[in-house]
């Protein structure tokens, strides 16, 4: 299932440039800061809660206009996620991902855009974090806003919500009976500045 989903997004990205023959496009770069953490469900009291980790992201993007109100946006992005823990001393762990967001944009006004979509991610430093993260792949649901500052620059706010756990731990009692499964998932808030050049057809 994961491979089929990834193939769909890869196909969307590969085919999007060919749409420029019929539609307007914008090409650009996007970069900014992340506030990332690991969200834990079914939390056991023995496991410390994690705090947001400041990090960064940078990506190339292509926007294709579908009509006067909506459009498709694809990106190839390098982003750093992870968590911080304050347990007597500060401990930080950074996870490096290559991501492929595929987003649908909708114009609320001339200068305000809402965006939503899916973001499959590949874990680059998996071997160094194998004790903390058991999956090389992650899929996030993305949603956010974009504010047009000028014809070239935009300011964006985006939230990434991990849909699958990057790790799980089975909690058991003193007799070894299974109590619940603790799940760890990525959550990231991004603030970014985009520089875009339009191509008219």
CB atoms within 10 A of CB 45: 5
- Average pLDDT estimate for 137-157: 95
CATH class of 2-13+27-199: mainly beta
Q: And the tokens for 178? A: 């299974």
Q: Which two tokens stand for residue 21?
A: 């023959």
How many CA atoms, within 13 angstroms, populate the side-chain half-sphere of residue 180?
A: 8
pLDDT of the residue at 199: 65
- The per-residue b/e assignment along 5-15, b for 16 or more CB within 10 angstroms, e otherwise, is eeeebeeebee
In tens, the pLDDT along 174-189 reads: 676 767 777 888 999 9
| Residues 6+ positions from 177 with CB-CB distance below 8 Å | none
**How far from 15 is each of 102, 103, 104, 186, CA to CA, in Å?**
12, 14, 15, 29
**Best CA proximity match to 82, nearest among 118, 45, 57:** 57
Q: Where are the domains of the chain?
A: 2-13+27-199
Give the pLDDT band (50/70/90) at residue 200.
Answer: low
Would you say the pTM of this structure is higher than 0.85?
no
Rg (CA), the chain: 19
pLDDT band at 165; cut points 50, 70, 90: confident
Phi, psi angle pair for 181, to nearest 5°: -115, 120
Contact 57, 190 (CB under 8 A): yes
Q: Is the pLDDT of residue 7 over 70?
A: no
Which string of DSSP letters, residue by residue, matches 110-124? SSEEEEEEEEEEEET
């Amino acid at each position: 299932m994961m491979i089929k989903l990834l193939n769909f997004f890869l196909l969307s990205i590969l085919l999007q440039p060919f749409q420029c023959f019929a539609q307007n496009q914008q090409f650009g770069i996007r970069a900014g800061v992340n506030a990332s953490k690991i969200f834990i469900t079914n939390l056991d009291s023995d496991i410390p809660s994690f705090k947001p980790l400041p990090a960064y992201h940078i990506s190339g993007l292509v926007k294709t206009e579908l009509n006067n109100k909506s459009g498709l946006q694809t990106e190839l992005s390098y982003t750093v996620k992870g968590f911080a823990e304050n347990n007597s001393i500060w401990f930080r762990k950074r996870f490096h991902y290559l991501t492929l967001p595929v987003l649908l944009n909708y114009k609320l006004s001339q200068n305000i855009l809402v965006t939503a979509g899916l973001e499959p991610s590949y874990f680059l430093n998996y071997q160094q974090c194998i004790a903390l993260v058991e999956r090389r792949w992650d899929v996030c649901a993305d949603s956010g806003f974009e504010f047009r500052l000028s014809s070239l620059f935009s300011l964006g706010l985006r939230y990434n919500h991990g849909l699958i756990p990057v790790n799980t731990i089975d909690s058991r009692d003193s007799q070894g009976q299974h109590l619940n499964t603790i799940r760890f998932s990525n959550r990231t808030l991004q603030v970014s500045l985009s520089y875009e050049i339009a191509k008219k057809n």
